[in-house]
């Protein structure tokens, strides 16, 4: 029999519905949404999150996880409000990357259980990045941009690479950006020492986003503005940010949000296998990471994060004073719009899966609903 879900408010990309009543059919799809002022629920509903940059969680790295282990990751992400995500690679030997892409393509094409976050594509971070801004990416495996190699990666992924991070200043990068964009892959500028002129050339070639803004980028300078100034200034670009208070100071989070606005800012976690786990030693790609006091470190550099998307949304509200609806937009609608998936993700209308996050009256995430079923936290 159909079930109903009620709340004080429902935040959707188009605005807010007061006193919503959502009818869910037996298949877990939205049958209808209407407003009923007699509904006295104090809950607030939002769309679920879409994390376009995560390397793993719950002790598993997406590049190495078996199907069963990836299911553990999926279930953990679901408890933190994530309905969809892009498993993200890190620079590794070519053969290992090809194997990982094949495995992740299997996951994208498999039927995801109703209580799990769903991988909807792959984010290829590396190997076409800058040695100068490599972060923890292994230098021996960083390669110059190569269209033929990218095509091999996409063939292994069976067309499921939806996002790729590229440093635009490297010879051959602009040709690869244009090639990838022409074939429907969103290109993100990242791990880059680019000047503002080189960043603008990348945007002209088809780049449409920036990977973890401020991190692994040439520093902002008032006379030689560099890539960060272009990322903040150019309205053609979306811009990711890791909102954990570790990767980016709260004052810079506020600057980023003022510059990009509620339509082009994107929250990501850049989480690695230690997310949701105690301090200790974990894996990111081919190397070990030491996690302590909320920081994931390798060779003196930050190595991803232990952030979860529910905390990113809470942190954004705390750092910037943004309302819940805005914070959720940055974690759901905006990444979906970047990927061209806004009609099927973060858009609760009749016929779509009943995927919602439930917040209490004080804005605390208390439950995730996927396919009409409540996920236990």
212 assigned binding-site residue: yes
Rounded to 5 degrees, what are φ and ψ at 58?
55, 35
Closest CA to 39 of 55, 23, 57: 23
Determine the Cα angle at 336 with ends 334 and 342, to 5°.
Answer: 105
270 is catalytic: yes
223 assigned binding-site residue: yes
Alpha helices, DSSP H only, in 40-172? 67-79, 94-109, 147-156
- In the block, which residue shows the tokens 């272009």? 230
CA distance 332 to 337: 9
247 assigned binding-site residue: yes
Residues in a beta bridge with 192: 217
200 assigned binding-site residue: no
299 assigned binding-site residue: no
372 assigned binding-site residue: no
Distances in Å between the Cα of 338 and the Cα atoms of 1, 48, 103, 154, 186 are 36, 16, 24, 19, 7
Structure token pair of residue 47: 């769309």
Closest CA to 183 of 167, 166, 160, 199: 160
**Among residues 51, 234, 244, 270, which one is catalytic?**
270
Structure token pair of residue 237: 């670009």
**DSSP assignment letter at 169:** T
Determine the Cα angle at 210 with ends 152 and 332, to 5°.
Answer: 95
106 assigned binding-site residue: no
CB neighbour list of residue 183: distance below 8 Å, 6 or more residues apart: 154
71 assigned binding-site residue: no
CA distance 295 to 351: 41
117 assigned binding-site residue: no
Binding-site residues for substrate sit at 136, 215-216, 223, 247, 302-304
Which residues are known catalytic residues?
Answer: 270
Binding-site residues for Zn(2+) sit at 125, 191, 212
Binding-site residues sit at 125, 136, 191, 212, 215-216, 223, 247, 302-304
């Amino acid at each position: 029999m159909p079930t109903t879900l009620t709340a004080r408010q429902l935040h959707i990309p188009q605005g807010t519905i007061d006193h919503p009543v959502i009818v869910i059919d037996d298949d877990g799809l939205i049958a209808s949404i209407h407003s009923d002022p007699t509904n006295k629920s104090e809950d607030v509903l939002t769309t679920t999150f879409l994390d376009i940059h995560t390397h793993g969680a719950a002790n598993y790295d997406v590049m190495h996880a078996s199907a069963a282990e990836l299911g553990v990751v999926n279930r953990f992400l679901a408890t933190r409000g994530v309905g969809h995500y892009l498993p993200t690679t890190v620079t590794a030997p070519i053969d290992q990357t090809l194997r990982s892409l094949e495995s992740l393509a299997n996951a994208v094409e498999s039927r995801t259980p109703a209580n799990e976050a769903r991988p909807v594509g792959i984010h290829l971070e590396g190997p076409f990045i800058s040695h100068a801004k490599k972060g923890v990416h292994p230098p021996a495996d960083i390669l110059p941009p190569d269209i033929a190699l990218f095509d091999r990666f996409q063939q292994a992924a069976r067309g499921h690479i939806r996002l790729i991070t590229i440093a635009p200043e490297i010879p051959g990068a602009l040709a690869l950006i244009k090639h990838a964009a022409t074939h429907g892959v969103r290109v993100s500028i990242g791990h880059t020492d680019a000047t503002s002129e080189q960043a603008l050339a990348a945007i002209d070639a088809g780049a449409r986003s920036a990977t973890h803004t401020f991190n692994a980028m040439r520093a902002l300078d008032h006379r030689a503005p560099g890539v960060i100034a272009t990322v903040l200034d150019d309205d053609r670009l979306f811009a990711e940010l890791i909102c954990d208070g570790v990767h980016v100071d709260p004052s810079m989070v506020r600057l980023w949000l003022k510059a990009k606005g509620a339509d082009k800012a994107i929250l990501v976690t850049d989480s690695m296998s230690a997310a949701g786990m105690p301090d200790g030693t974990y894996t990111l790609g081919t190397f070990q990471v030491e996690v302590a006091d909320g920081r994931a470190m390798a060779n003196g550099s930050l190595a991803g994060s232990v952030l979860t998307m529910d905390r990113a949304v809470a942190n954004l509200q705390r750092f910037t004073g943004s309302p819940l609806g805005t914070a959720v937009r940055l974690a759901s609608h905006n990444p979906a719009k970047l990927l061209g998936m806004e009609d099927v993700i973060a858009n609760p209308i009749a016929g779509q899966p009943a995927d919602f996050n439930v917040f209490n009256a004080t804005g605390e995430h208390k439950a995730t609903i996927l396919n009409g079923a409540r996920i236990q936290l």
